Amino acid sequence: MTEKKHPDRENFPFFVDIPTRWMDSDVYGHVNNVEYYSYIDTAVNMHLVKKIMLDPNTAPVFGVVAETGCKFFREIRHPDIINASIRVTKMGNSSVTYQVALYRRSDECLAALGHFVHVYVDRKTRKPSRIPNAFRKELNKLLT
């Protein structure tokens, strides 16, 4: 059986460093699996805030999480710094699918590979809404 190759790091156009916290660790001495989802969420939302200038408190539309998933390859331990790298793998009218690679900055090893689907909704109606053109322009820069 052939092992599927991980995506190349250079195919992830945006990254952010995220420090682990003492409280992220579990009784086994490594970061608990649920924290990986927090790192993925942080990376995606940092992109929205830094590049799209999303104000989560006032934006007329915003993304809600419709689906997440993660494959784990290596442990992360405190006090590791995580390099979370993101790209967009699919974009529809109201949804966007991100792939997020979590690397340990200390040794550049891929620790986990996750996906994250946002569905954009209207703030007032809470119904799916078309991704605004300004958002779409920035998200297209991450599309691979």
Query: Would you list the domain boundaries of the chain?
Result: 13-140
Residue 130's pLDDT is 98
Please give the structure tokens belonging to residue 122. 């209207």
What is the DSSP code (8-state) at residue 10?
G
d(CA 71, CA 99): 11
Three-state DSSP class for residue 16: strand
For residue 115, which of 91, 88, 95 has the smallest C-alpha distance? 88
CATH of 13-140, one of 3.10.129.10, 3.40.50.720, 1.20.58.2240, 3.40.50.300: 3.10.129.10
Residue 1's pLDDT is 40
Residue 4's pLDDT is 56
For residue 78, which of 38, 34, 14, 18 has the smallest C-alpha distance? 18
With a cut of 50, list the residues of the chain below it in pLDDT: 1-3
Whole-structure pTM value: 0.92
